[in-house]
Amino acid sequence: MKQEHDSKKVLILGGGYAGVNAALRLRVRDKAVHITVVNERGEFVERIRNHQKAAGATLKRLDLRQVLGNGIAFVQGRAENIDTAMKQVLVKTATGIFPFAYDILVYAPGSGATAARTMNAFRVNTADAAAQLKDALRQEPRRGLTIVGAGLTGIELATELREAWPERKITVYDRHTLGHGFSEKARRYFAATFAAMNIHFVADEAPETQDIRIDCTGFYFPDLARRSGLPVDAKNRVLVDEALRVRGFADIFACGDAAAYGFGSEAIDFAGCQTAMPMGTHSGDAIAALLRGKEPEAFRFGFPGRCVSLGRKRGLVQFVDKYSGAPREKILTGRVAAIIKELICKMTTAAPAWERKTGWPIYTWLKTRLTRRGGQVASRAA
């Protein structure tokens, strides 16, 4: 039977963890609505494996069209402008710039949309950036490595590179302690692992050297929302309400890294698949509710923990407070933690694949009413 809203168009900007999960969950909930995903790349990038790619690992290519499956349209291109009055997005493709109309828009471009190499420093925030670093390491196998930033990305990259390049000099610099944002037990384990793997850590600004320099200091957010008149914070992240709708725009949702959802406190700064997947999935559920004439529920989220790979044989699982994400003095380490980390990485692609194949809303996450409780700790997860 034909549904009343079968002509409604949902346009999703971004084909990463948030955008893909939004599209697939909406398709599971509603078989009639027209869904289009716009993304610059034709493949789904497992960003949480970029450090492996930079170290030389060969990763399986995931065609984005296959990840989305039948029933979801895909356009390879870059969104240039959002016209909220006309309810359309200008998208630049290989053949020109075209307008795409929408009834509901999902803003999920992610982060890391800057040049792979700037100011003589490489990055691993995109697939292209990781590939550039891998090539540079192979071309100059004797040069030492200076990694700027000892957060999760810097730690994972340093240990992965050490296993790939056992003779290289690797030095990690950070103004904070090694593993800042983690518990004391975790920081001690990081320090012991670095010592065992002959990775040097310096609590200071990184000096200018002849080393290959790699910037692991933070996330970078596109300015598309700002240029299009959407409300954003100082980092260009879109401001949303409790249901993840953009403030002042009932027909636009924002999810993933590019959404400034504070999980109870706007001081909390988390990004990565552990937040992007739930936010994307919730957006799909919320849009399905709107199409049925219902108001979307508030987004509920609880911090499950933080998993860190330390090469292929070691890892660390940091237990956290589910409301604020603050680290607890409880960790798992070693091979067991490495296995848990790998299983979680596999889940990020397996969960949407299960939903596509079965047509059932399988993926779920820890849910608490964080918007009611609020957190007090500023932290970051990848």
Q: How far apart are CA 327 and CA 190, in angstroms?
A: 15
Q: Average pLDDT of 267-275?
A: 71
How much of the chain exceeds pLDDT 70, in percent? 91
Q: Is the pLDDT of residue 374 over 50?
A: no
Cβ-defined contacts of 206-210 (< 8 Å, 24+): 206/146, 206/148, 206/173, 209/144, 209/146, 210/143, 210/144
User: What DSSP character marks residue 205?
Assistant: P
Q: Of 27-36, 115-124, 152-161, give the lowest mean pLDDT range.
A: 115-124
H or E element at residue 185? helix 184-196
H or E element at residue 349? helix 334-358
Instruction: Give the Cβ contact number of residue 13 at 10 Å.
Output: 27
Q: How far apart are CA 330 and CA 185, in angstroms?
A: 7
Q: What number of residues does the chain have?
A: 382
Q: Is the pLDDT of residue 357 over 50?
A: yes
What is the pTM for the complete model shown?
Answer: 0.91
Q: Average pLDDT of 143-155?
A: 95
Q: Average pLDDT of 115-138?
A: 84
Domain boundaries, the chain: 120-215
Confidence of residue 2 (pLDDT cuts 50, 70, 90): very low
- Rounded to an integer, what is the distance from CA 166 to the centroid of its chain? 29
Confidence of residue 6 (pLDDT cuts 50, 70, 90): low
Residue 323, pLDDT score:
82
Q: Is the pLDDT of residue 376 over 60?
A: no
For 189-216, the pLDDT digits (tens) are: 999 999 999 999 999 999 999 999 999 9
Q: Is the pLDDT of residue 20 over 60?
A: yes
For 54-102, the pLDDT digits (tens) are: 999 998 899 999 999 999 999 999 999 999 999 999 999 999 999 999 9
Residue 368, pLDDT score:
79
Q: How far apart are CA 232 and CA 236, in angstroms?
A: 5
Cβ-defined contacts of 251-254 (< 8 Å, 24+): 251/87, 251/102, 251/103, 251/104, 251/105, 252/84, 252/104, 252/105, 252/106, 252/107, 253/22, 253/104, 253/105, 253/106, 253/107, 253/283, 253/286, 253/287, 254/106, 254/107, 254/108, 254/225, 254/230
**In sequence order, what are the beta bridge partners of 80?**
none
Domain 120-215: CATH architecture, name and number where available: 3-Layer(bba) Sandwich (3.50)
Q: Mean pLDDT across the chain, nearest whole number? A: 90
Q: Which two tokens stand for residue 136?
A: 């540079």
Are 159 and 358 contacting, i.e. CB atoms less than 8 angstroms apart?
A: no
Cβ-defined contacts of 233-239 (< 8 Å, 24+): 233/260, 233/266, 235/260, 238/107
* Beta strand pairing call for 314-320 and 306-310: antiparallel
Q: How far apart are CA 13 and CA 82, in angstroms?
A: 10
Residue 7, pLDDT score:
79
Residue 169, pLDDT score:
97
